[in-house]
Amino acid sequence: MEAPPAIGAGIDRVDGARKTAGAAAYPSDFDVHGQAHAALLQSTVAAGRITAIDTAEAEAAPGVLTVITHRNTPRLPDGPATDIGTSPPAPLQDERILHHGQHVAVVVAETREQAVAATRLIKVTYDASEPVTRFDDPRAERVDDPWGMDSERGAVEEALASADVKVSATYTTPDNTNNPLGLFATLAVWDRNTLTVHDTTQWPTMARATLAKVFDVPESAVRVLAPYVGGAFGSGLRVWQHVILTVLAARMTGRPVKLVLTRPQMFTSVGHRPSGVQHITIGAKRSGELVAIDHRSTSSVAMEDDDFEPLAASSAVAYACPSVITRDGQVRLNISNPTSMRAPAEGQGNFALESAFDELAHTLGIDPLELRLRNYAERHPVSGMPWSSKALRECYEAGAERFGWSRRDPAPRSMRDGDELIGYGMAGVGYPWYAVPCRARATVNADGSAFVRSAATDIGTGTYTVMTQVSADVLGIALDRVRFDLGDSDMPPSPQAGGSGLTGALATAVRDACLGVVRRVLDLVSEDAGSPLRGCALEDVIVGNGRIHRRDRPDEGESYADILTRHGRQEMTVDGASAPGDPSALGMAFAGAFGAKFVEVRVDADLGVIRVARVVSAIDGGRILNEKTARSQIIGGTVGGIGQALFEETVTDARTGRIANATFGDYLIPVNADVADLDVLFVGEPDRATPLGTKGVGEIGLVGVAAAIANAVHHATGIRIRSLPITLDELL
């Protein structure tokens, strides 16, 4: 009587047809009657103050409605703090300049072309000062342990002093820019004291709360819409200053206002992965058993902002090691505000740790895979509790088998194919568990269809599809009869699409709402003498094919449609919720995803050109709800990891603070020719800490790719590269 389970099947995206037909409206696609257009003017110095700003010519230009500067901007409060940090500072509040590309004026005009043209008529005079752009600048302010995550166990100094073998090195990672293909856009519409905003955001609930606070209106008076968001990779996790300025412009002009950032403006307006310097020392016995890890990091941060980027923190739990110290700090520079970029902190921290591990393996003469297995953390290294799930050992074994790791000759420069040096490298990876409360609402209609919704976003990860599957599975209704909707802050609140936490939180809330619907429908027939389900509780029934059946007599049951119609109901709606559990209460350490990355590189022996030939990713993602979309996430993350390793670097001129490569013509990202054979396999069991057994896979695809590539380059060439990106000139 039960239909095939909807969960687990690699079904196509339910929103795929809309996207391929051009019917999916992204933020930049929205227009309303009577809208005006805004354009930004940005600072041409990185530090100092504005001494004069002449807007007269711009204000007199054709079509211009207003010019907004710090001189006529009202006092605005900063937005509220969120689960992932503070809001960016309010814009245009004074004459100070803190970074190159800072917004200094907004022009609002009848057309976008008129607004852009008028920005060129504004004359700004600066009293410029020398910007702080380098970590070693004595003027740079250092912030120690900004998140309270520094950790220490054991006796690190003593253990390192007595270690048989010690490896110590410094690793550097540059700024990277998120660079989603879609330009960020905001359309703001005021109707008296009610505000509607279409925005490129990964978190409509947070955007609503921020705009309500900044503009002093109730949250109920703000609606944020983001039904479709192109890639964001973390850049949509904050309400940026251009969003505030668009809403302000709409209020000041009394007109709907739309603003679309340019590609160069994306480099300075919506965050970036901060640069970092990491010092690691590892001590071990001759047998390879770890005795100590000392991992200290410094990352860049803006002058008056915050960013959560503890690069060293995960080294505390990566391996079974009795003595570990991690220290994280930041240095304030005249740069635009950093933000999360796919696999924040872990992407950089893992590169350093897993590169150092490879150096240790080479020094000891132990196979890099074997060294990791000898130091495998069977239990959580800090709490000592068992993991809620951990199949990293299986990832190592299955990935090595699929990759052919046993064919690796351990000697550097020993494997060759004609003019190409062949290198094999690997890395072990993990991504921390993350969960926050979430709500969802489920409705079953009298025609037997279902409508489920929550104020989440889908940034291309497959949320529409996976939540349709969960809803269909729990309700027992065919997939094509279930509609899942999102991207509207008027829906039940949801956490952000980020941190690999949305699927677990949202799926659990959706499950709770759908189970609630089944319970309420059973309540309708609890005293119904004509129903075969009379007196049944939830545990007494099974669902399938749009019907509820008795578990003890599966042939007896009836459809949702029949029950609702007979009882005069057009629909049944129930809200559901999820909340993170308590590890101590459950007696287990909550586990995020784990994985192992194996990479083959080919390096031209004469020219130093590096080519990634293949990557095998073995992933423990808990219960996989849709293997097709999950595999796509790992592939996309792997491509991002190749970019991090070999191409991406946001170059800032140290003297002026100007980003020198703020276009797709100059900022290098991988293209099809750079991406060869990407293989993905999933291993492991459902996680015990969540009702559906899921773990997030959005970030784990990127983590470890850079380290595995760097380790493969060393194996191929004998040259150890400790800074990203790895470029051919370093191998010549």
CA Rg, the chain, in Å?
A: 27
CA dihedral of 254, 260, 266, 268, whole degrees rounded to 10: -20
Given the DSSP bridges, would you call strands 276-284 and 290-302 parallel, antiparallel or unpaired?
Answer: antiparallel
Separation CA 501–CA 103 (nearest Å): 32
Closest C-alpha to 592, from 465, 458, 499, 467: 499
* Residue 645 identity (one-letter amino acid): A
Full DSSP string of 135-156: TT-TTPPEEESTTS--EEES-H
Sheet holding 48-54, edge to edge: 96-97, 48-54, 123-128
- Distances from the Cα of 472 to the Cαs of 354, 476, 695, in angstroms? 41, 5, 20
Separation CA 695–CA 314 (nearest Å): 17
Q: Which of 571, 600, 699, 730 is catalytic?
A: 699
* Residue for token pair 């993991």: 387
Q: Residues with Cβ < 8 Å from 673, sequence gap 6 or more?
A: none
* Residue for token pair 């359309």: 187
* Residue 147 identity (one-letter amino acid): W
Helix axes of 502-524 and 463-475: crossing angle, nearest 10 degrees: 30
- Distances from the Cα of 705 to the Cαs of 189, 215, 340, 630, 659, in angstroms? 43, 43, 18, 17, 26
Separation CA 230–CA 29 (nearest Å): 12
Q: Is 113 a catalytic residue?
A: no
CA 273 from chain center: how many Å?
11
**Cβ distance 399 to 580 under 8 Å?**
no
Separation CA 70–CA 53 (nearest Å): 10
Give 265-333 as a 3 state SS string: HHHHHCCCECCEEEEEEEEECCCCCEEEEEEEEEEEEECCCCCCCCCCHHHHCCCCCCCEEEEEEEEEE
Separation CA 545–CA 658 (nearest Å): 61
Separation CA 662–CA 237 (nearest Å): 21
Separation CA 531–CA 525 (nearest Å): 6
Separation CA 662–CA 267 (nearest Å): 6
What H or E segment, with its residue span, contains residue 595? strand 594-604
Give the HSE-up count for residue 653: Cα atoms under 13 Å, Cβ half-sphere. Answer: 14
Would you please indicate which residues are annotated as catalytic (active-site) residues? Answer: 699
